[in-house]
Amino acid sequence: MTSPKNAAPPSARNGSLIWIGIVVVIVGLGIAAVFLARGESDKSVEGQTGSVSVGGSSTTTGEGGSADTSGPGAAAGSLPAYDSTVAEDPAVGMTIPTVTGKDFDGNDITISGDDGKAKIILFVAHWCPHCQREVPLLKEHLDDVPMPDDVELLTVSTSVKPDAGNYPPQDWLESEGWSAPVLADDEASTVAQAYGLSAFPYFVAVDADGKVVARASGELSTEEFDAAVKAAQGG
């Protein structure tokens, strides 16, 4: 039995219990915050990145993303990285990689060189100021000068950053009235890497045989865009 002189006074015991309670509450709030943050992070990329396959096979990478890779950052059959300083683009004449993925609504979408269609493939990032200027410019231009029937315009939304500006990309593109089909790249930007993206915005012009005829990065004027479309037509 503890003698009264060695026992802690009631006020001291109560104070200790209060401090223990405060510590428990703080720890509990900290744990809850971690799980809430994790949940918000998972929720933030939902629907904005997708599951993609390059070259016919896939492996999971990150939040709902998948890709077939054959080396550090490169997908099988990928195009070389674009270099605007090189006079002759080594990708010209190469067949584009076949890519299968989904749009923001979960619908299947395929970009392929064997469908007999000439195409312009535009890669954009929601946080890129150049993309934010290029998209409305092209939208206004295409309202006046629609894409020709023999050339389709496809979009790849890539390099998604939930903590960056102008997020989410789906809302941004919808607010711009962008109606071209959009493939949602995975979190590893596998499609962008497979097509040799090195800067935004990025354009790949493809002829009806699925061969690259031209590539460009940075903001294009409407005249330059029309020239890319004509190149895809074989002009």
Contact 213, 120 (CB under 8 A): no
Q: Give whichever of 9-18, 35-44, 98-107 has the largest mean pLDDT.
A: 98-107
Query: 47-233 architecture in CATH?
Result: 3-Layer(aba) Sandwich (3.40)
Q: Residue 44 pLDDT more than 50? A: no
Tell whether the torsion through CA atoms of 41, 190, 216 and 156 is positive or negative: negative
Average pLDDT over residues 145-157: 98
Is the confidence at residue 74, as pLDDT, over 80?
A: no
pLDDT of residue 42: 39
CA distance 74 to 77: 8
Closest-CA residue to 69 (of 83, 58, 84): 58
Q: So what's the pLDDT on residue 71?
A: 35
Confidence of residue 77 (pLDDT cuts 50, 70, 90): confident
Whose structure tokens read 């930007």? 189
Mean pLDDT taken over the chain: 81
> What pLDDT sits at residue 39?
40
- In whole angstroms, give the CA distance from residue 97 to residue 139: 26
Distance CA 14, CA 6 (A): 16
Query: % helix / strand / coil in the chain, to the nearest 5?
Result: 30, 20, 50
Please state whether 159 falls in left (phi above 0), alpha (psi between -120 and 50) or beta: left
Mean pLDDT to the nearest integer, 135-147: 98
151 pLDDT above the threshold of 90: yes
Residues 78-84: what's their mean pLDDT? 97
Going 29 to 31 to 34 to 36, the CA torsion angle's sign is negative
Residue owning tokens 């990928």? 78
Q: For position 110, what pLDDT does the model report?
A: 97
Q: Give yes or no for residue 6 having a pLDDT over 60.
A: no
pLDDT confidence of 11, banded at 50, 70, 90?
low
C-alpha span between 207 and 154 (Å, rounded): 13
- Alpha helices, DSSP H only, in the chain? 10-45, 129-144, 169-175, 190-194, 222-233
Give the pLDDT score at 51: 81
pTM beyond 0.85: the answer is no
The domain ranges of the chain are 1-45, 47-233
- Predicted local confidence at residue 112, as pLDDT: 96
Task: Give the whole-number percent of the chain exceeding pLDDT 90.
Answer: 66
Higher pLDDT, 53 or 180: 180
Residues 32-48: what's their mean pLDDT?
45
Give SS3 for 167.
Answer: coil
pLDDT digits (tens, 9 = 90+) for 169-227: 999 999 999 999 999 999 999 999 999 999 999 999 999 999 999 999 999 999 999 99
Q: Write down the H helix ranges in 83-189.
A: 129-144, 169-175
pLDDT of residue 22: 44
pLDDT computed for residue 45 by the predictor: 57
What sign results for the dihedral spanned by CA atoms 127, 199, 221, 145? negative
